[in-house]
Structure 1
Amino acid sequence: MIEEKLQSLGIKLPSPPTPAGSYVPVIRTGNLLFISGQIPIEDGKVIFTGKVSDDNLDTAQKSARMCAINIIAQMKRELGDLDKVSKIVRLTGFVNSVPEFSQQPKVINPASDLLFEIFGEKGKHSRIAVGVASLPLNSMTEIDAIVEFSE
């Protein structure tokens, strides 16, 4: 069902990105997945880089959406079947923003909206959206997730 939803939205999940450091992309404990921060990587390359400001809000939103797609790719790799997802519990969104920028929630909204659209009620989650001075590989955004699943 979730795979069909992805297909109807024209989303083809990429191979999940490999970690950029000394950590694992997903930890499974009990019925929770803790998904490490995902940046906007496509085919091994960071697509959206640099500081976010009012001038490039649209681009930053695309970056956040790509982070969400990479989160879903990590879920798929770990669970095998996205229909096992019972709840997106929480997202934490980091925005590589200039000091005067204060629209971090608006940047992360497309990631949240995509999860709502794909998973329906199961996609509704709590969230944090914060501005930071820099992110790995000069990425515009980074988002991690906590996801509940059932076998």
Structure 2
Amino acid sequence: MIEEKLDELGIKLPNPPIPAGSYVPAIRTGNLLFISGQIPMEDGKVIFTGKVSDENLETAQKSARMCAINILTQIKRELGDLNKVSKIVRLSGFVNSVPEFSQQPKVINPASDLFFEIFGEKGKHSRIAVGVSCLPLNSMTEIDAVVEFLE
């Protein structure tokens, strides 16, 4: 069912990105899955880099959407099946912003919207969206997630 939705949206999940540091991409505890921060990486390369400002808001939104797709990839890697997701609990969005930029929620919205579109009610989540002075590998965005799942 979820895979069909991804096909309808034209989304093909990439290979899961490899961690850029000393951590694991996901940890399970009870029926919660904590996904480490995902950056806009594809085929081992960061696609969207640099500081976010009013001038490149649309590009930053594409970056956030790519982070969400990488979260989906990590969920599938860990659970084997996206249909096991019972709730997207929380997203934490980080935006590599110039100091005067204050539209971080607009940047992260496409990631949230994608989860709503794919999972429906199960995709509604709590969220933060904050500006930061720097992100790993100079990526524009980084998003982590907490996901509830059924065995």
Distance of 1:72 and 1:39 partners within structure 2 = 12
Deviation at 1:90, TM superposition (A): 0.1
Deviation at 1:10, TM superposition (A): 0.4
Structure 2, unmatched stretches of 5+, are: none
Q: Hey, which bits of structure 1, 4+ residues long, moved more than 2 A?
A: none
Deviation at 1:23, TM superposition (A): 0.2
Give the match for residue 57 of structure 1. Answer: 57
Distance of 1:124 and 1:15 partners within structure 2 = 25
Distance of 2:109 and 2:81 partners within structure 1 = 25
TM-score with structure 1 setting the length: 1.00
Structure 1, unmatched stretches of 5+, are: none
* Structure 2 residue 110 is the aligned partner of structure 1 residue 136: no
Report the RMSD for the aligned CA atoms in angstroms: 0.3
Give the match for residue 41 of structure 1. Answer: 41
| Count of paired positions | 151
Deviation at 1:52, TM superposition (A): 0.1
Distance of 1:80 and 1:35 partners within structure 2 = 14
Distance of 2:30 and 2:16 partners within structure 1 = 22
* Structure 2 residue 3 is the aligned partner of structure 1 residue 6: no
Distance of 2:31 and 2:20 partners within structure 1 = 26
Any idea what SS the aligned residue of 1:69 has? helix
Distance of 2:46 and 2:81 partners within structure 1 = 27
Deviation at 1:128, TM superposition (A): 0.2
Deviation at 1:47, TM superposition (A): 0.1
* Structure 2 residue 147 is the aligned partner of structure 1 residue 147: yes
Identity %: 88
Deviation at 1:125, TM superposition (A): 0.1
Give the match for residue 103 of structure 1. Answer: 103
